[in-house]
Amino acid sequence: RYNVGQNIAIKMHSDGYKTSMEELVQMWYDEVKDFDARQVSRY
């Protein structure tokens, strides 16, 4: 099995929280490139 967990997004700026939902979703999607698919085996 591979490690799984919950994912929550927050992006802070010196002016406070100014991140749109679209930007947060894009940040999650951009993490795909960091995932090692070799950690997942067929079931």
43 in a structural domain: no
Check residue 33 and report its DSSP letter: G
The predicted-structure confidence for 4-32, as pLDDT tens digits, reads as follows 666 677 777 677 667 788 888 898 888 88
* Within-domain flag for 8: yes
pTM for this entry: 0.50
Whether residue 9 is contained in a domain is answered as yes
pLDDT of residue 4: 62
Can you tell me whether residue 16 is helix, strand or coil? Answer: strand
- pLDDT value at residue 24: 82
Q: Tell me the pLDDT tens digit for each residue of 32-42.
A: 888 888 877 77
Report the number of distinct structural domains present in the chain.
1
d(CA 30, CA 23): 10
What three-state secondary structure class fits 19?
Answer: coil
Domain that holds residue 16: 1-33
